[in-house]
Amino acid sequence: MINKNIYLIEDLSKAEMTPTRDGFGKGLVEAGAKDEKIVVLCADLAESTRCHWFKEKFPDRYIEIGVAEQNLAAVASGLANYGKIPFIASYAAFSPGRNNEQIRTLVSLSRLPVKICGGHAGVSVGPDGATHQALEDIALMRVQPNMTVIVPCDALEAQKATLAAAFGGGPTYLRFGREKTPVFTTKETPFEIGKAVIFRDPSISSGRAADVTVIGCGALLHNALMAAEELSKEGIEAEVINCHTVKPLDAETILNSVKKTGAIVSVEEHQIAGGLGSAVAEMLAQNFPAPQEFIGVHDRFGESGEASELIEALGMGVKDIKAAIINAIKRKK
């Protein structure tokens, strides 16, 4: 499927496959080379989170905390109070899942520049099952005052997001996945915290006006783009927005799109309660109410299985996004 947007690779169906956690690991090393104040703390998962690359390069700035996620946040807050820029890493189910209170009280409340890095998020962690499939982490972090929440769509964006977070000031949550997912952005694709990017503009790709807005974060954005391309052949056009920063939300870009299209579909690998879709719905309710369909996990836990099977089984595949787009358009009519 040929893409005419300069921000993306030419053929979306032929993207290389790389986990977003790899982009995080590369970004850590790059950030560490730029500033000696950057330190990394891990909860006994250095290789899984890709922190081991930083450890190999800067062993004096790596701290192994062990399986003690509450302590992970507490030690990081102390380091931040003394001028360091700490990145803390674990599975998202455990950080921020297990240490939410420490993050809230010791990091967010004090506006400390601790970067919470949740790996293996979503159901695409696969066979690890429900206990390890973090589906509530965006909601946990989004409600905390002072917290920035970033969900990169691919490994390249994850690398850019890690760098931006390192030098971006206050508390930040970064969400990554284990599964290999398409790398469909390029080195030239812009990334700025708090600024959503239009990845598909029908006026460019087909010369037609958009019928619906599709907004997503994380690797599922590729599914959203594929769904939009397939529907284009049926005469239905979608404007697709990459909302990598869930908080602060880029209300201006979203509103400009929805005011043109009159309907929206949110796409995320997370509970539909409390995540990106909720953030968008809250903003629209105050500014420009419009029909919205939600792609995500609907009030249930995950289960063991292959990543691709779970995405389909829980209603987050390309066909599900296509159906949601059609429903959103029907509702506005």
Q: Which residues are catalytic?
A: 69
Q: Do residues 171 and 116 touch, judged by C-beta distance below 8 A?
A: yes
The residue length of the chain stands at: 333
CA–CA distance, 6 with 278 (Å, rounded to integer): 30
Beta-bridge mates of residue 266: 215, 294
Amino acid sitting at position 22: D
Sign of torsion over alpha carbons 276, 74, 134, 115: positive
Residue 181 phi, psi dihedral angles, 5° rounding: -135, 160
DSSP string covering 137-198 = HHHHHHTSTT-EEE--SSHHHHHHHHHHHHTS-S-EEEE--SS-EEE-B-TTS---TT--EE
CA–CA distance, 77 with 93 (Å, rounded to integer): 20
Map tokens 């030690």 to a residue. Answer: 75
* Helix axes of 155-166 and 20-34: crossing angle, nearest 10 degrees: 30
Amino acid sitting at position 252: E
CA–CA distance, 158 with 136 (Å, rounded to integer): 20
Distances (CA, A) of 69 to 143, 254, 293: 20, 36, 36
Residue 6 phi, psi dihedral angles, 5° rounding: -65, -15
- Could you tell me the two tokens for 91? 């599975």
Cα angle, residue 156 at apex, residues 155 and 159 outer, rounded to 5°:
85
CA dihedral 114, 186, 26, 195 (to 10 degrees): 0
- Enclosing H/E stretch for 132: none
